[in-house]
A and B are shown apart, each in its own frame.
Chain A
Amino acid sequence: GAVVSQHPSRVICKSGTSVKIECRSLDFQATTMFWYRQFPKQSLMLMATSNEGSKATYEQGVEKDKFLINHASLTLSTLTVTSAHPEDSSFYICSALGGGFSPLHFGNGTRLTVT
C-alpha cells in the first residue's frame, strides 16, 4: 500500500534555531501534501496545503514566514520551522494525496521539542 515517510521522527532544538522536517511519498506521486499539527489530547489541525511547484496555502492563523513549506517534487515536501520558540513544540504530521479518490496517507509524525 501507499507509504508516506516523515523524517526526523523526533527533534530537540534550541530556541531561535530552525528545524526542517521532510515528508516523502515512497510509492506514489503526491500531487498534494498537507501539514498538520497536533497538541496533546487535541485534534489534528491543518496548517497548510502544499502543491508541487506552487506556493503553499496556509490556514488562517498560521504564519507563513514562520512555517516555510517547499514542495519541490511530486514525492517530497518540507516544512521548516524558523526561529523556533518553545510554544512551537508540538507533533507535526504530514499527509500525501495521490491522484483519484483515495484516503489521505499520513507520515508517522515528528515530535518537535524547543528548549
Chain B
Amino acid sequence: DQQVKQNSPSLSVQEGRISILNCDYTNSMFDYFLWYKKYPAEGPTFLISISSIKDKNEDGRFTVFLNKSAKHLSLHIVPSQPGDSAVYFCAASGRNGNQGGKLIFGQGTELSVKP
C-alpha cells in the first residue's frame, strides 16, 4: 500500500521555467512533509519541508504547497536551473513532526532541466 505517491516518474523542463513536482498521500495522520533531492549513488539531501499547520513554505527558489483537503502537496522550483536535474522524493511523517523520524517516501520524480 503506497501511502505516498508521486505519479510522474519523470519531468522535463526548460531552463528558466517553473518546475512543478506533485505528491499525493493517503494517510490523514501525516502532519509533516518533506522534499528531498537525490543524485545517483548518493543519499537524499533535504530541500524543504512543511508542517500541516501551514499551506505554503518558501525558501529561495523552492516553494512547497500543501492542500490538506486534497491530500496533495507540490514543490515549485522557479526559475529552474540545469543543476536542479535530479530525482526528487516527497516524504511524509506523522505524530508531531517526525514520528520519531520515520519517513514514508514516494517513488520519486526525475527532473531534467534542459539548458
Q: Which A residues contact B (CB, under 8 angstroms)?
A: 4, 6, 9-10, 32, 34, 36, 41-46, 49, 91, 93, 95, 97, 101-109, 111
> How many residues of chain B get a CB closer than 8 Å to chain A's CBs?
24
- When the two chains form the complex, which single residue of A45, A104, A108, A109 contacts B46, counting CB atoms closer than 8 Å? A104
User: Closest 8 A-B residue pairs measured CB to CB?
Assistant: A106-B43, A97-B101, A103-B46, A43-B105, A44-B105, A43-B107, A108-B43, A101-B97
* Residues in B whose Cβ lies below 8 Å from that of A42: 107-108
- Grouping DSSP codes into helix (H, G, I), strand (E, B) and loop, the B interface class, with mixed when no group exceeds half, is loop
- When the two chains form the complex, which single residue of A6, A9, A49 contacts B102, counting CB atoms closer than 8 Å? A49
Q: Which of A43, A102, A108 has the most CB atoms of chain B within a 10 A radius of its CB?
A: A43
Q: Which B residues contact A (CB, under 8 angstroms)?
A: 4, 9, 34, 36, 41-46, 49, 89, 96-98, 100-108
- Grouping DSSP codes into helix (H, G, I), strand (E, B) and loop, the A interface class, with mixed when no group exceeds half, is strand
